[in-house]
Amino acid sequence: MEQLWVPSLPILGGRMLPLLRHCCDFGSHHALTWRSIFQTSGREQKQIRSWSAQCSANHEGASVSEKDSPKTILAVPDNSLLDARILYCTSPALGHNKEAHPESNKRVPAIVDALEKLELSPKHRGSQVLEIQNFNPASLDDVARVHSRSYITGLQKAMSAAADEGLILIEGTGPTYATETTFQESLLSAGAGITLVDSMVAASKLGPNPPLGFALVRPPGHHAVPQGPMGFCVFGNIAVAARYAQHQHGLKRVMIIDFDVHHGNGTSDAFYDDPDIFFLSTHQFGSYPGTGKINEVGQGDGEGTTLNLPLPGGSGDYAMRCAFDEVIAPSAQRFKPDIILVSAGYDAHALDPLAGLQFTTGTFYMLASSIKQLAKELCGGRCIFFLEGGYNLQTLSSSVADTFRAFLDEPSLAAQFDDPAMLFEEPTRRIKEAIENAKGIHSL
C-alpha cells in the first residue's frame, strides 16, 4: 500500500511527542509521512460519477494484502501521561472534500482554531492538554474486524477512478463521496481512535485518573455499515476502536454512547448481536436514516445491549438531562463497562442546518461532564470521544471547545455563545413518554 501524503497540520504549540520505549504497541500499521503537497483550494473538479460500494460484493473472497512493516511504538512519556487531562488526535482529511458539501474539510480546522483562540491548546495548557501528532493509520486487519473485506477491497480499488475523475460517489443511494485520498485518510482517522485507546490504556496503568481522549477526525463513521459507506461515513471509526480495545487490550465490555442527532445505524449493525458491547443512541425521531426505533434492542446473545431513545423534534437541554439521569447513567451502571466510547455528534445544536433538535453549547458541556464522571465511577476514567456530525462551523467549534473545558473541570463558556432567544419550548410531554418507554423496555 502506498503511503499517504497529506498537508502538514498547524502545530498547536505542542511539542512533537517522542517515542515511548514501552506500552502502546500499535501493531503493523503503516508509518505516516506529512507533506504539504495537496492543495484542495481551487482544485478542478472533474465530472462526478456514481460508484456503489455495494457492487464490491463482486469481489467477495478477494484478499486485501499489506506490505510488511515493523511494529511501531508510539505514546507519550510517563510523566506527561500523569499530568495530562486531555489527549487528542486530529485527522482533518483535507484531501477528502466536495465543494458545498456539509461534511467538508473545514470542520476539523475550525475546531483547531477555536481551541487555539480559547486557549485550550497545548500551547496554552502545557502538559494538561497533549496532542499526539505523528500517529499511524489503522491496519486493514483492524478495519476488517468491523467491515467486510469485499468493501475494503472495493473502496481501495475505487481510488484509481477517483484519481482519474476527481470525485466519485461511493454510496449508491446517498451523498457519500470519495476523492483519491479518501481511502488512506479514512484509515488515518480510524488510526487516531486506535492511538487513543493505546494511550488511554497506558495512562490507566500509571494512575487512577487517566486523561480523556478525543479523536477530532473525519470523515465521520457511525453510519458506515459493515458492508459499505453511508451518510457521509466511510469507516466506522468508533466501531474499529471498540473491537481493537477488546482484541488488543482485553477491554471486553465496551459501552458506546452516541448523542449525534442521527441514529448511529452502522455502529448498531456492527454489534447488534454482541452481548459485550452496549450501544446506546439518542437521536431525533424520524431523522436520517430512519433506523433506531425504540423497540430495536439487539438480537440473539446481544438482546438487551442495544438501546435507542428517539427524541421528538425540538428536544433540547431538558430532554438530554432527563435522558442522562434516567436512561444513560442507569444503563451504564448496570452494564459495568471496561471503557466508554462516545460518538460525539454536534449536529443536534439548535443552529445546525441538518436536523431539528435544539441542544446548546451548554448541553454538550453537560454531556461531556456527566459522561466523564460516569467513566470515573465505572471504568477507571477510560473514556474517548469521537467526532461525528456537526455542520455549522461556529457551533461545532465552540461546542467542542466547551467539551474540552468540561474535561478540564472548568466552567462552561456557553453563555458567550448561546442566545436563549433562539430556543423555543421543548415538547416535555412527548419527551417524558419517550424516556418512560425506553425505561420500560429495558427495565430501568
Among 241, 280, 249, which Cα is nearest to 371's?
280
3-class state of residue 308 by DSSP: strand
Among 189, 187, 211, which Cα is nearest to 201's?
211
- E strands along 105-173, which residues? 129-131, 168-169
Quote the CA–CA distance of 283 and 281 in Å, as a whole number: 6
* Burial (CB count within 10 angstroms: exposed 0-12, middle 13-18, buried 19+), residue 217: buried
37: CB partners within 8 A, 6+ apart:
5, 7
Count CB neighbours of 39 within 10 A. 10
Cβ proximity of 176 and 233 under 8 Å: yes
3-class state of residue 116 by DSSP: helix
Please report where in the chains the cell 486493514 appears, as a residue: 140
* Burial (CB count within 10 angstroms: exposed 0-12, middle 13-18, buried 19+), residue 372: buried
Tally the residues of the chain.
Answer: 444
Q: What is the dihedral of CA 315, 317, 318, 323, to 10 degrees?
A: 80
Quote the CA–CA distance of 218 and 50 in Å, as a whole number: 21
Among 349, 389, 392, which Cα is nearest to 217's?
389
Q: Does 349 qualify as catalytic in the annotation?
A: no
**How does 100-120 read in b/e, with b if 16+ C-beta sit within 10 Å?**
eebbbbebbbbbbbbbbebeb
Q: Exactly one of 30, 96, 223, 249 is catalytic; name it.
A: 223
Cβ proximity of 382 and 204 under 8 Å: yes
- Residues forming the active site: 223
